[in-house]
Chains A and B, each alone.
Chain A
Amino acid sequence: MADPPQPADPFVPLLEESAEDLYEGAPCGYLSVLPDGTVARVNQTFLDWTGYRRTDVLGHRVQSFYTIGSRIFHETHLGPLLHMQSEVRGIAIEFRRADGSRLDTLVNVVVRRNPNTGSTALRMTVFDATDRRSYERELLNERRRAERNAAHIRVLQEMEAHCASIDRAEDIVAPIVAAGTEAFDATETAVWLLHPQESVLTVAGPDAPATAPATLDESGPEAHAVRLADVVVFESPGPDARAVTPLVADERVLGVVSFGFPAGRRIAADEVQLMRTIGRQAGQALERVRLHEETARRAWQSAYLARLSRALDEAVGSADRARRLVALLVPELGEYAQVSLVEGEQAEGTSSSVRSPTGGTGPADGVIAAGSGGPWPISAQVRAAVRSGGGAPVPLAGPDGRRGLALPLRARNAMIGMLLLAGEPAASSDRSEPDFLLDLADRVGLALDNARLAEQDREVARILQRSLLISERPTDSRFQVATVYRPAVETLEVGGDWYDTFTTSTGSVGVVVGDVVGRGIRAASAMGQLRSAVRAVAKTRCSPATVLRHMDDFVTTLEAGQMTTLAYAELALDTGVLRYACAGHPPPLLLPPHAAPRYLWDGRSGPLGTHTASRSRREAELSVPRGSRLLLYTDGLVERRGERIDQGLGRLAEALDARRTAPLGALAQQLSDAMLDGEGGHDDTCLLALAFEAAPRFHADVPAEVTRLSPLRARLHEWLAGCDVPEPEQYGIVLACSEAAANAIEHGYQSDPSGVVSVTATIDGDILDLRISDSGRWLAPQASADRGRGMALMGRLMDDLVVDRGEGTSVLMRRQFRRTTR
């Protein structure tokens, strides 16, 4: 900074001024005014400021140069003040210039009194206050603005506080509307949210009017604000004014807030600024809520999918899985759900006509649904749309007008069915967004298809097993066989258990029960091969140990047959000699006719295909009496969780002993039921019971009445059929028996009904022996043609006929018949 300016010579002339000059050129206006307001004198400065000529002013009242407001002020304030205190200072007066503009001034007024005359005059000094007034005005404006800003900040803070506490997107509407009302006195505030995928704005909020969605290319202010991503103000030409601010987060527009105002309302710049801020803040809150919602939704969705997968895994079979699926979908994802599985449309040309093994509604039987209002018919058009839709949900309308979505269920590049969802989900409609549904449908498709394939496997295995187990079975009156096979209950899965019965070339019956390791088709097919191999080997003259050695060789070529266990026994039907061998298999259980059951613990060696076992195949031999029963079984029958194997064997022996007199078929069923009762059946089980029959015997005591002949014949007929006596032979035997019995009744007892005719028949192999006895007293034989005819019939029907008379009479007849069904 330079030295302060010195009073320099050039100013000296200016300082030597005359009083006149000082008056005229003073830095203030100077007016002398008479008491009535007439201007008596005015200096040049005032004239310069106001643009009047001196003559314009002198002789005129000073008030006439005021503006209206100042004139009133002069009358009401200035005049009385002067009157009271003779002097006022710093009064703001507004003069009207010659050009009509205003001059803000501050005026000092002093009343001068002439002591001589007593008259008074006013001296007014006028200071230009233009700058000062505008400064004051500015100050006032600033204060107003500051106050408004404070209000705005409060509005913003309130809105922010509200926004921070919401956790649903639609809840953002209320604080925004509140802010709009409070900050701008908006007559109407609407929040429009942008749906990104659809590029559509819709009015949000619980009380939202039913306004049609707006697309982004529309000309309305809302769409315009989205495109512009900034505040849009529409002050005209419509009947009302409108300002729209975008909801922005991270430079993205999420929606808009539209404020409506009465016509003519001007929107100030700071209001636009505030709207912008509101848009940003609300946008960020919206974004946060959306993220929160998104996170919550994803969490729910993944938990739901996990729950669904678990539930589906627990069910066996595609029909059961489909039932579980629809039960889980309603009401979580809709009010109605329906699954229809496509049959026979696999990508590969494999047959898939698998029926539900449980006998329930199979997948082929159509639609499985849950919820109200079904089933929905699905038109071929929808079907085609779903098929070609690439997985996208296809909307459709139901019979009751409800909206629904059809989704393809796909697996292994094929559509295996269709899922239909209708109505609103239980909670948020966002739950059923397309991506999620797609994911769900894919998982479900795979789960259902897996179940279907498993069913198919099971079914194939089952068919295979059944075809193997129900093959031709030897019939012989000297033995009887009953079998039970049960698949594992839990999985319905067929394992590798098998049984077989055949007669050998040496007149023995061979029985075998085996257990291939594993389950399903592989085990079933290995079982089939092993079964055939045992049969082929054993039918020739092989001892049980030799059969096992051959099987050891056989399983070296059959990987799935390794570690197979089996029990093989053959019973010589003529001698009752039983030879048996066990390869790692539970021991056979023998029930002699009049003794306790006992396990046959001899003849044991290891499972098939084990080296040490194959070197030491052993067998055992014992003689069993007629009437004995022999039980072969797989370990599933005697194994129970939490029980030692010897306990299981003990239970089996007890169960057998308790049912020793039961018919063989019933015995096998009852044993199986008793042993598996209460057990989950985690393994398949197989049971074979062999009865070494005593010679079949028929006996009847018939009262001596001819009317009893017909029932006798019926009983004998039935017994013969049961003993597999060939049909043509049966009639002749019955006729012979009937003739002999009729003779006994008519001739032995003379039809006295108190007499008893005793009829006994036995079959040993293919020899029938028939004995008809009475204890009557025969009259002397009459040479009757009738009786002779009866005897002649008997003689021709039977091979041998002997009449034995002693205490009463016995007729003995024998017949060797030809078995045709060998």
Chain B
Amino acid sequence: MTAEDRTTIRSEQGCEVVRLHGEIDHGNAELVERDVLAATRAAAGVVIDLSGVTFLDSAGLRCLDHLVTAFRNRQAPVVVVAPDQGVVRFTLDLIGFLPGLLASSIDDALAELTA
């Protein structure tokens, strides 16, 4: 899977929406992290959309961790989108990860960032 397939980035309402696809595991988490950081500019806010992610393991969690930290360092507020009932939300909930940064949809996330 190429970086382009895994990651798509677009601008919306002054925020950057980073959409991740497929599996994020020990095999590719570091690549995903690098791709996303390289492709994003400092923005008013960043949405990391995990709606298209079908698998997320502890390496994926670490990747998210690093991304959130990096965006915060760039002074950009971050919201992570993980649909309720999805497998990603299942993993995040299981480990109790980033509860304050989670949103159920992109609209919710954008609303939170632009409020």
Q: Does A735 contact B (CB under 8 A)?
A: yes
Among B22-64, those with CB < 8 Å from A are 23, 25-27, 55, 57-59, 61-62
Tell which of B5-13, B70-78, B88-96, B107-115 binds the partner.
Answer: B88-96
Q: Are B95 and A789 in contact (CB under 8 A)?
A: yes
Q: Which of B23, B57, B91, B95 contacts A742 (CB 8 A)?
A: B57
Known contacts A731-B87, A735-B91; A793 and B27 CB within 8 A of each other: no
> What CA separation (Å) do A277 and B23 show in the bound complex?
112
Q: Interface size on B (CB < 8 Å)?
A: 15
Assess the A742–B62 pair: CB atoms within 8 A. Answer: no
Chain A residues contacting B94 (CB-CB under 8 Å) are 793, 796-797
Chain A: how many interface residues by the 8 Å CB criterion? 24
For the complex, is A308 an interface residue (Cβ under 8 Å from B)? no
Q: Is the CB of A739 within 8 A of B58?
A: yes
- Residues of A near B91 (CB, < 8 A) are 735, 793
Q: Enumerate chain B residues within 8 angstroms of A710, measured Cβ to Cβ.
A: 23, 25, 27, 55
Contact A706 B95 (CB under 8 A): no
CA distance A785 to B27 in the complex (A): 18
Interface membership of A290, Cβ < 8 A: no
- Chain B minimum-CB-distance residue to A731: B87
Q: Does A725 contact B (CB under 8 A)?
A: no
A665 at the interface (CB under 8 A from B): no
A-B contact count (CB 8 A): 53
B80 to chain A, nearest CB (A): 16
Q: Mark A699-711, 1 if CB is under 8 A from B, else 0.
A: 0000001110110
> B residues within 8 A CB of A706?
25-27
- Is A745 part of the contact surface with B, judged by Cβ < 8 Å? yes
B95, A793: Cβ atoms under 8 Å?
yes
Tell me the bound Cα distance from A745 to B27 in angstroms. Answer: 11
Partner of B61, one of A705, A734, A742, A789: A789
In the complex, A787→B25 CA distance in Å?
A: 13
B4 to chain A, nearest CB (A): 18
User: Which chain A positions have C-beta within 8 A of B87?
Assistant: 731
User: Is A658 an interface position by the 8 A CB rule?
Assistant: no
Q: Is A713 an interface residue (CB 8 A)?
A: yes
Which residues of A are found within 8 Å of B27, using beta-carbon distances?
A: 705-707, 709-710
CB–CB B55/A713 < 8 A: yes
The interface residues of chain A lying within 8 Å CB-to-CB of B61 are 789
Expressed in whole angstroms, the Cα–Cα distance for A746 and B94 within the complex equals 23
Q: Which residues of the partner chain B approach A565 to less than 8 Å between Cβ atoms?
A: none
Residues of B within 8 A of A790 (CB): 57-58
Binary interface encoding of chain A residues 754-792 relative to chain B, with 1 for a CB under 8 A from any of its CBs, else 0: 000000000000000000000000000000011101101
**Can you list 16 A-B pairs with a CB-CB distance of less than 8 A?**
A705-B27, A706-B26, A709-B25, A709-B27, A710-B55, A713-B55, A735-B57, A738-B55, A742-B26, A742-B58, A745-B26, A789-B61, A792-B95, A793-B57, A793-B58, A793-B94
User: Which of B's residues lie within 8 Å of A, judged by CB?
Assistant: 23, 25-27, 55, 57-59, 61-62, 87, 90-91, 94-95
Residue positions of A touching B, CB distance < 8 A:
705-707, 709-710, 713, 731-732, 734-735, 738-739, 742, 745-746, 785-787, 789-790, 792-793, 796-797
Other contacts beyond A709-B26, A735-B91: 12, CB < 8 A:
A710-B55, A734-B55, A739-B58, A742-B58, A742-B59, A786-B58, A789-B62, A789-B95, A793-B57, A793-B94, A793-B95, A796-B94
Which 6 pairs between the two chains have the least Cβ-Cβ distance?
A790-B58, A706-B27, A742-B26, A789-B58, A706-B26, A707-B27
